[in-house]
Amino acid sequence: MFARLGPDLADRLIATRQSRRPWAAPAVVSGLLVLAYILVRSRGDASLELVAPTLRGAAQASDEPALAGSLQPTARDVTGEALNPSAAAARQQRAFFEPPRADAAACGYSGAALAALSPQLVRAHSRRGVLFGALATASMREMVINYAAHLAPLIGECAALVGFMDGAAAAADAAALALRLRAGGAVGSYATAEPAPAHGGQAGRWRHARDLFAAASAAGVDLVLSDVDVVWLRDPWAYLRAALAAEGGLDALISTDTTNDWVKPLPAHPRMPALPAELQLEAAEACGRSLNIGILVLRGALAGAALLVDEAVAAVDAMGPHDVDQGAINRRWKGEAKMRDWRQTRGLACAMLGGRAKMGVLPAAQFLSLLGFSVRRLHVLRWAEPFAVHATFLRTQQPAGKLMRLREEGLFLDPPSHYTSGNFLAYTPAVPLDALTQPPIARGAVPTRHMALVAAQIGQLREALALARVLGRALVLPRVRCACELGFGPGHVTERCDADSAIELPYDCPVDHWLSPPAWLALGWDHRERGFLENPRVPDDVVRSRAHARRCAHNQHGGCCLQTHYRASEAQLRAELGGCAARVLELGDVRGLFGGFDAPGADADFDKRLRGVISSWCCTTDAAYSSRGGLVPYALNNATAAPLPSG
């Protein structure tokens, strides 16, 4: 079959089958389904041969049928360059975790002191007429390193600046982090003139953003300003430069919170004429929805961009104590314009500030939120290669939530020891087949079958976690199946359980749908994220050192089999599985294996701690849960007994 698809796509599909990248599978499956549809409709090889050039990336006219217009291959899902970095990029990423050299001198620096912001500093860190910039504090260390480690291999040395807003109190921490950025990826750093004000949390950064934009303008370069929880997957500048030229020239580009995937059928999204493999900017209607300030591209030479920044600062200065900077800035930029005004606007340009500035909205399927990337899979629906993923639309905006969600998508760069040290226990939850499909519910009702499905899997998590702790292994979190999407408030989830989206149910639900990341990480229990063993950063000697636990009459499998088949005690488990030398011990069905801890009261304490990290489903209008704000907690039950496979 592969040979008939054309050599380029065939090679990609075959390579994907041989890879260890779980994120590739959904796109490949979607692609094969589309190809199957084409085979049925084509009625012959001649027709299929006409499709093959389209699959290799030929430009599609925006007025072509939606099916043909969606057949652009997605290199991100098929080859995964940024998620499966080259050897050179991997070496550069590892350098961020090596001891920084005291003599590191990158991009004109010497020593460890933070520089002062100036046009000269901007010129030293800009390439191709653009500066990539971000603002942070030393407390954001993990996210700052992740931002820099993903970006630096894509755009080259001396092409990005991070401004630290710490002030004197944390100057030493900021300077140490700045030195690591320079030594690891030639990413520059500077200290802001004064620390960010506490008012509005991160809102105070907009004064510093104005300073950075002013320095970029004085240096004659454009600015790509993003939050440090943005993960760049490929160099976006060729695309951004072409997008800025749209509609006779735009002052700025911005990302969006909108997904538009609730429209059925999904309307065709035209490609960019100058770059036919890429999506065009969103239509002007997207201007009326929430604009996400996490990615903002500003033309340094245009007055409209300066007006946008000045008005953003004014909006933040006028905020109330409970306001959020993004909402305040959206309102300030849009003024009195209503949604109907944006719907009537033709073209791609948003007239902001009463027409004094023109802005374009970046395509949601290529500049994604984590919701769009990992749950709704907009890039797969659009056959579009992502440029960036922003860690937004989570259950919690706390760093723990962002970290765990990025980790499970392979988008968080941990120190090498995370991938190489220790031994691991992995298992596959037994999923009740009768719970995989949630019958239609009344809007706002509790999806009882979905609740039972997740509770059954959490019960097995309890068994596996106890086994891992007894054996001194890190538990690899499983893929948990959900039959109902999570909502953002009571009554949000529809009768179909899809939260007004095109999500296909059941699906692998993110970790924060069923665990509380802050509470889970606070426990300190050794674990690894789901998909860990498919992450290309995990060495082959770890992945290949696997043993599948079996039941046996006597231990003839090198310490990797159980003679006690049901409710084994802590002592029995250590005696029978503790000698297994494999780095990865795999258990299929864990139900009924764990009989309890030896110490009195240990089981009750374990369950109490575990209950404290289990999350809930959101949200119902049922009055029984009104005191919880509509949240329905998942239950922790003991897993139903089931034997290990024999052999």
Output the pLDDT for position 209.
95
Q: What's the pLDDT at 556?
A: 60
Mean of pLDDT values over 155-165: 91
Please determine, for residue 513, whether its predicted confidence score (pLDDT) is greater than 90. yes
Confidence of residue 49 (pLDDT cuts 50, 70, 90): very low
Q: pLDDT at residue 459 above 70?
A: yes
DSSP labels, 111-162: SSPPEEP-HHHHHHT-BTTEEEEEEE-GGGHHHHHHHHHHHHHHH-TT-EEE
**pLDDT for residue 18 is more than 50:** no
Residue 108, pLDDT > 70, answer: no
- By CB atoms closer than 10 A (0-12, 13-18, 19+), residue 535 is buried
Q: Is the pLDDT of residue 41 over 90?
A: no
What does the pLDDT read at residue 202? 59
d(CA 219, CA 203): 26
**Residue 473, pLDDT score:** 98
Q: Is the dihedral of CA 384, 388, 392, 396 positive or negative?
A: positive
Query: In degrees rounded to 5, what are phi and psi of residue 422?
Result: 85, 175
- pLDDT confidence of residue 120: 92
97 within 8 A of 185, measured Cβ to Cβ: no
Dihedral sign for Cα atoms in the order 43, 45, 51, 52? positive
Q: What percent of the chain has pLDDT over 90?
A: 57
| Three-state secondary structure call for residue 254 | strand
Region 613-620: what's the mean pLDDT?
A: 95
Q: Please give the pLDDT value at position 646.
A: 36
What pLDDT is recorded for position 23? 42
Assess whether the previous peptide bond of 100 is cis (omega < 30° from 0): no
Answer whether 513's CB lies under 8 Å from 483's CB. Answer: no
Q: How confident is the model at residue 428 (pLDDT cuts 50, 70, 90)?
A: very high
Residue 245: which pLDDT band, with cuts at 50, 70 and 90?
very high
Confidence of residue 197 (pLDDT cuts 50, 70, 90): low
Helical ranges in 440-501 per DSSP H: 448-471
pLDDT of residue 619: 93
pTM: 0.84
Cβ contact 222:142 at 8 Å: no
Are 494 and 500 in contact by the 8 Å Cβ rule? The answer is: yes
Q: Which of the four pLDDT bands, split at 50, 70 and 90, describes residue 204? A: confident
Q: What is the pLDDT of residue 563?
A: 80
- 230/148 Cα distance (integer angstroms): 10
Of 125-129, 284-288, 559-563, 566-570, which range is least confident?
Answer: 559-563
What is the C-alpha separation between 122 and 472, in angstroms, rounded?
Answer: 50
Domains of the chain, residue spans = 2-78, 84-229, 236-318+326-393, 409-633
pLDDT at 514 (0 to 100): 96
Model pLDDT, residue 198: 56
| pLDDT given for residue 196 in this prediction | 62
Lowest mean pLDDT among 225-229, 241-245, 466-470, 559-563: 559-563
* pLDDT band at residue 288 under the 50/70/90 scheme: confident
CATH number of 409-633: 3.40.50
| pLDDT of 16 higher than 60 | no
**Burial degree of 478 (CB within 10 A; 0-12, 13-18, 19+):** middle
**Average pLDDT in the chain:** 82
Answer whether residue 351 shows pLDDT above 50.
Answer: yes
